[in-house]
């Protein structure tokens, strides 16, 4: 699963998920892309699960690019712990996704296979998605 090797601070604040994605909102590498329509946190497990679903459907024929990376630690306090006593320890990593952010790109497959792969991957993700196609691709 994806996780950063080294970070500056162990714990981070929650932040706000308002607005649209400007960086990472155009197709750069492949012919087809899965784009987010909602804001949300996508865990490293969900990214890996979607990656496996796409590569299995493409039968390792095409090439896949993952355009998001989980670089935000999410903390959690132990069960049955009283309030106070500071912030919990980091449990897992998430990628912050805003509407319009491209999450996966792929090429080297037909349109039908690409649509099916995008559909299977969307079931693994917690945000509403749609597939877009680079201009000039039939």
pLDDT of residue 40: 96
Domain boundaries, given as residue ranges, for the chain: 32-76+89-133
pLDDT of residue 137: 80
pLDDT of residue 138: 72
Look at domain 32-76+89-133 and name its CATH class: alpha beta
In terms of DSSP H, where are the helices of 12-106? 44-58
- Residue 32 confidence (pLDDT) above 90: yes
Percent over 70 (pLDDT), the chain: 100
* Rounded Cα distance, 1 and 23, in Å: 24
Q: Following DSSP, what letter does each residue of 101-138 receive, concatenated? A: -EEEEEESS-HHHHHHHHHHHHHHSSS-EEEEE-TT--
pLDDT of residue 9: 95
pLDDT in tens, 50-106: 999 999 999 989 999 999 999 999 999 999 999 999 999 999 999 999 999 999 999
**Its pTM surpasses 0.85:** yes
CB under 8 A, 24+ apart: contacts of 52-59: 53/117, 53/120, 53/121, 53/123, 53/124, 54/104, 54/106, 54/117, 54/118, 54/120, 54/121, 56/120, 57/113, 57/116, 57/117, 57/120, 58/106, 58/108, 58/109, 58/113, 58/117
Contact 22, 98 (CB under 8 A): no
pLDDT of residue 60: 82
């Amino acid at each position: 699963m994806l996780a950063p090797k080294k970070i500056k601070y162990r714990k981070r604040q929650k932040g706000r998920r308002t607005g649209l994605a400007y960086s990472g909102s155009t197709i750069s590498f492949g012919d087809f892309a899965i784009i987010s329509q909602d804001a949300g946190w996508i865990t490293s497990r969900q990214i890996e699960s979607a990656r496996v679903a796409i590569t299995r459907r493409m039968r390792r024929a095409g090439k896949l690019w993952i355009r998001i990376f989980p670089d935000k630690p999410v903390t959690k306090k132990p069960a049955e712990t009283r309030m106070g006593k500071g912030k919990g320890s980091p449990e897992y990593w998430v990628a912050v996704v805003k509407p319009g952010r491209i999450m996966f790109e792929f090429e080297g497959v037909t349109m039908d296979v690409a649509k099916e792969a995008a559909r299977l991957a969307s079931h693994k993700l917690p945000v509403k998605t749609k597939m877009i196609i680079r201009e000039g691709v039939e």
